[in-house]
């Protein structure tokens, strides 16, 4: 009964029809990282994040501080890219982002949707 639950972890994976460099350019963007983290922790506004691992074109990990939580308990996102046939395999792991696994997985699916969607360019005329 006095057992403390372990860290929450959710994973999602998808192959998208974009190159690793295209996906890297989207993911390695502080504003996007802040917005994705906010979505996954249920914040209304983007939250400050710190990149904790960066292997250009392959892996990116970032965390935010909830303030008061032990450093190891901070919400973290890990994004991994690998060439896969006609696209790129994208694997995302969320750690300590939402105690509800269903909500965390839904957030990861939204993130994959954003990465896989065609880039919308503003009309210039």
Look up the pTM and report it: 0.82
Domains and CATH numbers, the chain: 9-116 (3.30.530.20)
- Give per-residue pLDDT as tens, 23-68: 999 999 999 999 999 988 888 899 999 999 999 999 999 999 765 4
Q: Tell me the C-alpha distance between 31 and 45, whole Å.
A: 11
Q: Give the helix ranges, DSSP H, for the chain.
A: 20-27, 30-41, 101-116
Pairing of strands 76-84, 59-63: antiparallel
């Amino acid at each position: 009964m006095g057992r403390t639950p372990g860290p929450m972890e959710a994973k999602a994976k998808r192959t998208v029809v974009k190159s690793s460099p295209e996906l890297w350019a989207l993911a390695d963007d502080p504003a996007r990282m802040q917005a994705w983290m906010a979505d996954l922790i249920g914040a209304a506004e983007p939250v400050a994040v710190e990149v904790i691992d960066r292997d250009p074109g392959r892996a990116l990990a970032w965390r935010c501080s909830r303030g008061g939580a032990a450093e190891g308990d901070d919400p973290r996102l890990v994004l991994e890219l690998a060439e896969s046939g006609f696209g790129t395999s994208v694997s995302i792991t969320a750690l300590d982002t939402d105690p509800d696994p269903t909500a965390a997985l839904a957030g990861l699916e939204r993130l994959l949707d954003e990465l896989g969607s065609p880039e919308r360019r503003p009309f210039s005329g």
